Structure 1
Amino acid sequence: MSLLPIVLAGAGAVAAPVAPAAATGMGAEQERDGLAALQATRQGRILPLKEIERRVVPQMKGAQYIGFDLEMPSGVYTLKFLREGEVIWVDVDGRSGQVIGRTGR
């Protein structure tokens, strides 16, 4: 999975101007994935990160939300949590918002 430095906000996506991959420290593949994710969100093919977080974070009582990955082209979000020193990964289908997998307690 690649960590994508994308900010997806509200019902749509808010995009800053895209800098060349070398200037951002991203590789060309990460940059392509980031642009694909932004486009998929704008076109309504996947849900925005804020919507995924709204659905999943409240279910993780007692765990600290520490971030996410978004795998493209599958559109699977992986939300990462920390509880009692253990990392928990929750995989979410970006199209439906449904949890499709989880590791940890």
Structure 2
Amino acid sequence: MIGVLCLGVCLAAAVPVHAVPQDRRSDHEAARAGRMEGRLLPLRAIEARVVPQMERQGARYLGFDFDSGTGIYTLKFLRNGNVIWIDVDGRTGQVLSRSGG
């Protein structure tokens, strides 16, 4: 029993903490391919349009998600303990929706 427990702990320690789930990895690869092919704006360009405006409203930028199926970036912010999600079209940079907060 102790040997099984030790094996489980050793195996858990072997998995990198920073490992990215497969579906997230493929979304990031799709975003990169879209940028390289000129179909998507670079994330930095989208952030440059949205982040300063949200920071002026007192929100702190947390990061983003990308949906390769729709080409939509979801930028996440925190303000007064509430999470705000901003959906941005990766092709045009247009803000599509805002929810939360």
Q: In the aligned structure 2, how far is the partner of 1:94 from the partner of 1:42?
A: 13
| Paired residues for 1:55-94 under 5 Å | 55-60=49-54, 61=56, 62-94=58-90
2:45 to 51, 56, 59: 51
Unaligned stretches of 5+ residues in structure 2? 1-14
Q: In the aligned structure 2, how far is the partner of 1:85 from the partner of 1:103?
A: 14
Unaligned stretches of 5+ residues in structure 1? 1-21
> Is this contact kept in 2: 1:88–1:102, CA < 8 A?
yes
Report the TM-score when normalising by structure 2: 0.73
Q: Secondary structure at the match of 2:69?
A: coil
**Percent identity (aligned):** 52
Higher Rg of the two aligned structures: 2
Query: RMSD over aligned Cα, in angstroms?
Result: 1.8
Residue type at the aligned position of 1:89 = W
Q: In the aligned structure 1, how far is the partner of 2:86 from the partner of 2:29?
A: 23
Report the TM-score when normalising by structure 1: 0.71
Query: Is residue 39 from structure 1 mapped to residue 20 from structure 2 by the alignment?
Result: no
Query: Which structure is higher in RCO with an 8 Å CA cutoff and minimum separation 6?
Result: 1
| Paired residues for 1:94-105 under 5 Å | 94-105=90-101
Deviation, 1:45, is: 0.6
Higher helix share: 2
Query: Could you report, residue by residue, the CA deviation over 1:11-36 in whole angstroms, capped at 9, with x for unpaired residues?
Result: xxxxxxxxxxx876334333322221
